[in-house]
Amino acid sequence: MKNILNKLRSKDTLHFLRISLYAALVGVISGLGAVFFRLLIAFFHNLFFFGKFSFHYDSNLHFTSPFGAWVILIQVIGTLIMGFLIQKYAPEAKGHGVPEVIDAVINNKGRIRPIVSLVKIFATAIGIGAGESAGREGPIVQIGASFGSTLGQLLKLKPGDTILLVASGAAGGIAATFNAPIAGVLFAAELILPELSPRNFIPLVISSTVATRIAYLFTGTQPTFIVPGYTLKSSYEYVAYFILGILSGFVAILFTKMLAEAEIKFDKLHIPPSVKPAIGGLIVGALGYILYLTSGHYYIFGVGYAFITDILTGKHVGLLIVIILIFAKIFATSLSLGSGGSGGILAPSLYVGAATGAGLGMIIHSLFPTITAPPAAYAIVGMAAVVSGTTGATLTAIVMAYELTRSYEIILPLMLGAVTSSFVVTFLYGYTMYSEPLWRRSIIYHGRRSLDLFSMIVIKDIALNDVGFVRLDDTVFKAKEIMKKYDISKVIVLNSKNAPIGIVRYIDIEDKNESESVEKFYVEKDISIPEDETLLKALHKMEKLGTDVLAVVDSEGKLAGVLPAGVLRDTYLSKRRGIL
């Protein structure tokens, strides 16, 4: 008993308990934010399409506005307001949100401006309420992540702890949005958190659990989509699901490329950024109205859950319209978000996946009706497969599709389809909707934890070498001895004010008289880095300069220590052992 009490009183345990408590608070805000966001979307939807004040809106049902062709203008007005809010108050709120959270983790120690979440939630609610083709999960991820970041900054937590709260916010946001707590945890673990360990995993679970429970209180415990029971009719179906995985991979590549191309094209337009979303809104509004005139439903407006519900519940939707909607939804979402709008890509990916799976399922079931499941089964697998391909979060996609439908019998086809799709995207394209925009900003992100872990560690928080430098009047012999001791090929040179001014390279002094001064052989070069930067920045600078040592300087520009490449390696190995 005494040992247990001592462990509870230990510094590490108390710190862990505090972080867990903060994660629970982040989960509360994420859950409430998700509920509030749904109500806000419902309010603007009813205001724009029906001209009434109401918070009641079932996104799983189709709707018809009494305003006829004026729904096109509704999109323009809504996207104009959305574009103004984004450009005026938080330009980083445009797009689907998750890449911005990843950017903050990699390059900004988890710091996110608090106003971003506020702008994101109102701008996206207006956009989706007016019919913008986007999902609601991206803003909730940013809301939860932003609150976690703000809490970490207010409490002056270390970057690693702040990043953990950011990831906890993302987990809570996804969990509360989809009523999918396990998927929320996996989403944060796969995409946001740089390094996963048992101590990091627990706050994610706490936040996700709290957020989901709060969402349950307001929206109920039922899954997002109600589907009939599923059974595997024949082992031959695995061949069909494998083919669906391949097809979904190609669809995911098309979706990712089209969204990227739309962003690039709109960025090049020489018009005010706040007006660009209205151009996308005009086209999407017109396309939605054309679909309404030809099929009876707008189909591509909003999150698209009504169409997914039709497919999963077996309502008749013709093969031709299903195929058309694959491309129409990709096109509409690319325009909505690529033009500078705000919203998520998970819901559109689920939509496109359901259409892709249902289309292939219709064909296969018509050819082999006795040994294949109905199209709805293929739609579920298609949802997981396309999400896996577009996001790169394969585990999240599998579990999310299961939690959205609560159909465990389909788990093996889900796994096969999602993994196959991810392989196709990785092998043929190499980027996802989250990594591609980061790559265009020259941000390294491939989900490689060995790199991302360094974004959590600040240089001044590690033990630096206090030797590993020479002064101008030191000898060549001393420089060689330091190189040998620290296994480096370059030594930092300091001036009389203790500031780094360059380096001495072994190749330049290898055969020189060891009694000579290094002043004759040093090369002026800026290899200094501030002590409050992250190890990731240090790693990038070493790579850029082609050096294996950096001079760490304080706020006055004086040497605070020496950072050899070996210290980076040792730090990474120690952090991998769970020392955070």
Compute the average pLDDT of residues 105-111: 76
Residues 6+ apart with CB under 8 A from 4: none
pLDDT at 357 over 50: yes
The DSSP element (H or E) to which 30 belongs, if any, is helix 11-50
Give pLDDT, residue 359. Answer: 96
- Tell me the angle at which helices 159-178 and 394-405 cross, rounded to the nearest 10 degrees: 30
Least confident of 63-72, 134-143, 319-328: 134-143
Q: Widest CA span of the chain, in angstroms? A: 92
Residues 6+ apart with CB under 8 A from 1: none
Write out the residue limits of the CATH 3.10.580.10 domain(s) in the chain: 457-576
- Taking CA atoms, 417 is separated from 230, 378, 382, 424, in Å, by 16, 10, 7, 11
Q: Tokens at residue 219, please? A: 């929206």
pLDDT band at 465 (very low <50, low <70, confident <90, very high): low
Could you read off the pLDDT of 503-512 as tens digits, one per residue?
888 888 888 8
Taking alpha carbons only, the member of 227, 229, 234 closest to residue 369 is 234
Q: Tokens at residue 431, please? A: 């980027």
pLDDT band at 159 (very low <50, low <70, confident <90, very high): confident
Angle ∠(539,543,548) on CA atoms, nearest 5: 75
CATH class of 237-449: mainly alpha
Average pLDDT, the chain: 85
Residue 245 CA, chain-centre distance (Å), reads: 22
What three-state secondary structure class fits 393?
coil
The DSSP element (H or E) to which 247 belongs, if any, is helix 237-268
* CATH code for the structural domain at 457-576: 3.10.580.10
- Rg value, the chain, Cα: 27
Could you read off the pLDDT of 503-538 as tens digits, one per residue?
888 888 888 888 888 888 888 777 788 888 877 778
Q: What are all long-range contacts of 61-66, with beta carbons under 8 Å and residues at least 24 apart?
A: 61/306, 61/309, 62/297, 62/298, 62/306, 63/298, 63/306, 64/292
Q: How many other CB atoms are found less than 10 A from the CB of residue 423? A: 16
- What distance in Å separates the CA atoms of residue 164 and residue 193, rounded to the nearest whole number? 7
* CATH code for the structural domain at 10-219: 1.10.3080.10
Taking alpha carbons only, the member of 137, 82, 145, 90 closest to residue 116 is 90
DSSP codes joined into one string, 331-347: HHHHHHHHTT-B-BSHH
Q: Tokens at residue 111, please? A: 């710091």
The span from the first CA to the last CA of the chain, in angstroms, equals: 27
Give pLDDT, residue 165. Answer: 92
Could you read off the pLDDT of 428-450 as tens digits, one per residue?
998 888 888 877 776 655 554 44
With tokens 């819901």, the residue in question is: 347
Q: Tokens at residue 546, please? A: 């082609």
Residue 423 CA, chain-centre distance (Å), reads: 19
- Looking at per-residue confidence, does 478 or 424 come out higher? 424
Least confident of 91-95, 243-247, 449-453, 523-527: 449-453
Torsion (CA) 49, 52, 54, 57 in degrees, nearest 10: -20
| pTM across the whole model | 0.80
Write out the residue limits of the CATH 1.10.3080.10 domain(s) in the chain: 10-219, 237-449
pLDDT band at 579 (very low <50, low <70, confident <90, very high): very low
- What distance in Å separates the CA atoms of residue 289 and residue 272, rounded to the nearest whole number? 27
Share of the chain above pLDDT 90, in %: 38
**What does the buried/exposed string (b/e) look like for 426-460 if buried means 16 or more CB atoms within 10 Å of the residue's CB?**
beebebbbbbbbbbeeeebbeeeeebbbbbbbbbe
H helix intervals, 108-223: 114-129, 137-154, 159-178, 181-187, 198-219
Compute the average pLDDT of residues 378-396: 93
